[in-house]
Chains A and B, each alone.
Chain A
């Protein structure tokens, strides 16, 4: 809402600068976003008279003028305007003037002739778009005496400061200058102007001579219909045009402009119908018929529902109540008689109509928040008085008013409540004083106040609303600071929070950057991601997405990380290592979808951030430090992460689902529950992102880890007796997994086995057909004594036997 200071001053007498008014409004809850100047000042531009306008000796289209600018000598000015002629009174930009467009006027030679200034067009003064010639000031300021040599600013109205006020949703009264004026008056200790008192005291009178019926009294408790005959529709006078311009409203015609003026002044929407277009003439306020078509005055045909309140005449709908009038009954140049509507509609009804039609107007914005139900009469009187002034031949015709008096609201205020909520002692006198300044009626009842809420303060329905009035009027800056006492309370972190924190830190320690990805993805991305984890893709879909790329919620975090991976690869990143912790959302039939907390990590590209070859060509089969991350590199990261998460002996099993590279994906289980997936992604998941390099990902559910991670370990004293190391290699059938052999060896070794590590996998010359060799380093240690060689031999024999029995393998002799 714009608040021009020129408007404000017509209502309130106060002593403050526009900046101070802005400050006062802001600190009372009407945030002033800025103060702009409306209208211009023209320092350096003076009134001048053209004495001579002769042809420029060296240019056909230029004229060489002698101009009286009030100085001792006439000035020489070169001018290109076709209309310049001796005798004109014109604006002259003198040397040194900075024009509104920023151009500085300098002494110049134009085609060999000196020019000591510039004669200005209307466009050069940014008054209008007119650039056809030099502005004739005697026309612009018709009827005024112009003094040659005086600044043109003396004849223009002073620039008006206009405050841009953010009106809170609960203060519709602030959507009229009147309401803001009340705040300024209370804030600055001002008083109503004589004019304001007169306008507020006016009441429109209504007879019972018009055919008006409110068939929906709940939707429209108050309606004034007033006929005005013999009006002349035409342009508005200059004062009205300028006043509306300061409000940012362009002039349309005198009738519409007056309704707008009253709207901005009182916050009361008015509507003028062309009486001749109303059948009856009559007004019926009723519900629309469902499916009814109606063309609003913006020329659009709209389909109405029975929820929508409409204004109808004897036969047809003519307006959507509180939202917009109809095209057919619009006031036009040929209108001679109008019907003025000044009404109060139920806010929720207007809001629902506005929402249903997708149509928000100056009127609907005010009605849906709540217009002062008692202001209509003064607003209508203001309109009618001005109309009769602008159209001297007009006269009031038939009228009728339906009016339900607004229910007065009385609240009780305990100053003790204000003291308790604000944390600052408020005496009863102070409460009374502050409320009275805002025109609340106040009567004392012992230690409490009975507060009569003014009709325009629809927001005040509870005692605490009055506390806010007191707090903000008194000033939030006066509220003291009371440092928080803990009262013995302390903050705690839940096991789940600790798991999330550890999960992040453990991934950061593996050299992965944390990503935060968007939750909204396309349906195809979401479906593919859900299938990769074996989830039925019951996606959560938005009813009103902004784009196809964000139409469903992510079922897991794969799509976001793949988008990020693709983005970074496109930017030429040699390695992408990212993880995210967040929720995947899937519909599992509940009232709300399930939000499953997970960590997803992704690695691709080179193994090291930096590495260069220092040994010459790498030997065949050597681990290439400059190579790219492979499945085992990635698995090493995930294993280390699981270890940091205190996951005890995770079991890795082959896993197959769409989206993974066949034979290169695994699931990780602890006991009976699956806690993670890991592997290399397949083409079907990568292709949509145009990723053409191997990408390894890891998906871990965090909730199953909460218990393990929050368990407190029991200390074990490290063994003090010497350990024995044995390296054993076995030939086993190619299909035998490491896990199987590992388990078999571990079981056979018994409790003296301290560690067992795979150190070589071999298949080639020397390997029996269909077999492979796996070599393990085993460390054996007894807790209470040194192992004897014979015991070691015995254990080794058990292991060899177990491998033969369970895996069909044999010891690989040296």
Chain B
């Protein structure tokens, strides 16, 4: 019986030890020996050729030969059953089903093993770089500006934009710089016409906002400003400021101080010492300058060097670094826009984006900002 069935299997088929696939292989052979010794050789050979199939196609062919529904060896074996006695049929039937189940198990185990081998062979070098698109970065000055605008937004300050090309009237006169005011010297001005300038600060925005709207006003004025200066590592003829303005019935320097300190804590460091000192700007009275402690020398005025120390090059030994100018809106500015300084008071401040960015990121040259070198832009 077994021999005729065995003849259906190609004798050249590669064989392997199925014990590697089914750990109870020996026990099965023993059980079959007891039950129906005629099928031992079939199971032995069948399991060996299944275990020995090298690839999925071979395995499929052998599966068909052994377990195929139409012409498989087991099916053939079952087809011979009617010729047997009732008792023989009982045993043979049971044994054939056992062999079928066991061979199926061997087959499935081998199929799984082949699949695993195949996947292992297809393994990728996962360290290869991916096909990567470009990422866009916001400009470093945008990031600083947005940080500031977000902070002031939270404090209730909305944005107001005003022209970069501005009338002298707004850039100077209504900000209390008369035509012969010596403080005009501090503003090296680009002129685009007899009364037209490239704004030298973002403060003309206050005048426009106050002419256009009624107090109370809480506004910030971000934008580009211009000074007719030769360009070098620390000077640009174009840079960026944010002014702020708060006008209401009883605004005081105490409100200003709190606002400036909130700014310093948020933008610099929560525990960085600050101070405010008097300064002169024509458009505020009293005028305020805010300094933060020099970060380079930690407020000592000196830095350590191999020769035993020298004066701090950043604060020049003063221990403080100026960060912004501010003050109470000058009554003449209020009068110029038709606001009664007896009813309203207000504070204003102005700061430079580049200065903050240079301090925060350790950027050594102001020229880098408008050069747009990708190697620079992509760092932030």
A residues sitting closer than 8 Å to B (CB atoms) are 26-29, 31-35, 168-171, 347-348, 351-352, 368-369, 420-424, 462, 464-465, 467-468, 471-472, 476-477, 479-484, 486-487, 489-494, 497, 504, 507-520, 540-546, 550, 553, 560, 563-564, 567-568, 571, 573, 575-579, 583, 585, 591-593, 595, 608-612, 614, 625
Contacts and interface: CB of A to CB of B under 8 A. Distances in A.
Given A29-B278, A513-B374, A592 B167 contact: yes
B317 A553 contact: no
Shortest 7 CB-CB contacts between residues of A and residues of B: A423-B254, A511-B134, A423-B252, A29-B278, A168-B280, A468-B286, A564-B372
Contacts of B191: 542-544
B157 interface: yes
Nearest to A488: B156
Nearest to B129: A610
Contacts of B180: 347-348, 351-352, 368
A34 B133 contact: no
B380 to A, nearest CB: 10
The prevalent SS among residues of B at the interface is: mixed
Contacts of A511: 133-136
A489 B332 CA distance: 27
Contact of B190 (A484, A545, A563): A545
B138 A514 contact: yes
Contact of B372 (A34, A479, A517): A517
Contact of A514 (B139, B158, B331): B139
Interface in B110-139: 128-139
Contact of B377 (A468, A513, A575): A513
Given A421-B252, A516-B372, A610 B142 contact: no
Given A520-B238, A564-B372, A512 B136 contact: yes
B183 interface: yes
A609 B137 CA distance: 14
A363 to B, nearest CB: 14
A633 B113 CA distance: 46
Given A351-B182, A484-B259, 12 more contacts: A464-B285, A476-B257, A481-B261, A494-B158, A509-B136, A513-B137, A514-B139, A515-B372, A542-B198, A571-B375, A591-B196, A609-B134
A542 B289 CA distance: 32
A577 B159 contact: no
Given A351-B180, A592-B196, A519 B238 contact: yes
B237 interface: yes
B279 interface: yes
Given A29-B280, A33-B318, A169 B186 contact: yes
Given A468-B278, A504-B138, A595 B190 contact: no
B265 to A, nearest CB: 11
Interface stretch (B48-56, B72-80, B224-232): B224-232
19 contacts: A27-B275, A169-B280, A170-B280, A423-B253, A423-B255, A464-B285, A476-B288, A489-B216, A490-B156, A494-B158, A511-B133, A541-B192, A553-B198, A564-B371, A567-B372, A577-B134, A578-B372, A585-B164, A609-B134
Given A518-B370, A610-B132, A595 B257 contact: no
B162 to A, nearest CB: 10
Contact of B165 (A484, A490, A592): A592
Contacts of A347: 180, 182
A338 to B, nearest CB: 30
A608 B378 contact: no
A431 B280 CA distance: 21
Contacts of B133: 511, 608-609
A489 B213 CA distance: 15
B285 A467 contact: yes
Contact of B132 (A483, A593, A608): A608
A244 B155 CA distance: 52
A352 B371 CA distance: 38
Contacts of B375: 571
Given A489-B216, A513-B374, A542-B190, A612 B128 contact: yes
Nearest to B290: A476
A575 B135 CA distance: 12
Given A493-B158, A504-B142, A516-B369, A28 B254 contact: no
Contacts, number: 264
B130 A610 contact: yes
B286 A491 contact: no
B141 A516 contact: yes
A421 B328 contact: yes
B252 A467 contact: no
A465 B327 CA distance: 12
Interface of B: 128-139, 141-142, 152-159, 163-167, 180-183, 185-186, 190-193, 196, 198, 216, 218, 224, 226, 228-231, 237-238, 246, 248, 250, 252-255, 257-259, 261-262, 275-280, 282, 285-289, 316-318, 328, 330-332, 341, 345, 369-375, 377-378
B56 to A, nearest CB: 24
Nearest to A571: B373
Nearest to B154: A491
A575 B341 CA distance: 57
Contacts of B286: 421-422, 464, 467-468, 471-472
A28 B287 CA distance: 11
Given A482-B258, A540-B165, A550-B237, A567 B279 contact: no
Contacts of A563: 372
Nearest to B261: A481
Nearest to B143: A514
A507 B136 contact: yes
A471 B327 CA distance: 12
Contacts of B261: 481
Contacts of B164: 519, 583, 585, 595
Nearest to A563: B372
A169 B182 contact: yes
A422 B275 CA distance: 16
Contacts of B345: 420-421
Contacts of A520: 226, 237-238
Nearest to B166: A592
Contacts of A576: 374
A483 B258 contact: yes
B156 A422 contact: no
A592 B276 CA distance: 37
B373 A462 contact: no
A519 B130 contact: no
Contacts of A464: 285-286, 328, 330-331, 341
A6 B373 CA distance: 52
A60 B327 CA distance: 73
A515 B374 CA distance: 9
Contact of A610 (B131, B158, B259, B378): B131
Contact of B374 (A481, A493, A510, A573): A573
Contacts of A368: 180, 182
A758 B305 CA distance: 69
Contact of B277 (A26, A351, A481, A579): A26
Nearest to A33: B316
B211 to A, nearest CB: 15
Contact of B253 (A168, A171, A421, A513): A421
B311 to A, nearest CB: 8
Contacts of B328: 421, 464
A563 to B, nearest CB: 8
B168 to A, nearest CB: 11
Nearest to A469: B286
Contact of B279 (A168, A465, A608): A168
Contacts of A468: 278, 285-287
A796 B128 CA distance: 48
A477 B275 CA distance: 7
Nearest to B159: A497
A491 B156 contact: yes
Contacts of A514: 136-139, 142, 377
Nearest to B260: A481
B199 to A, nearest CB: 11
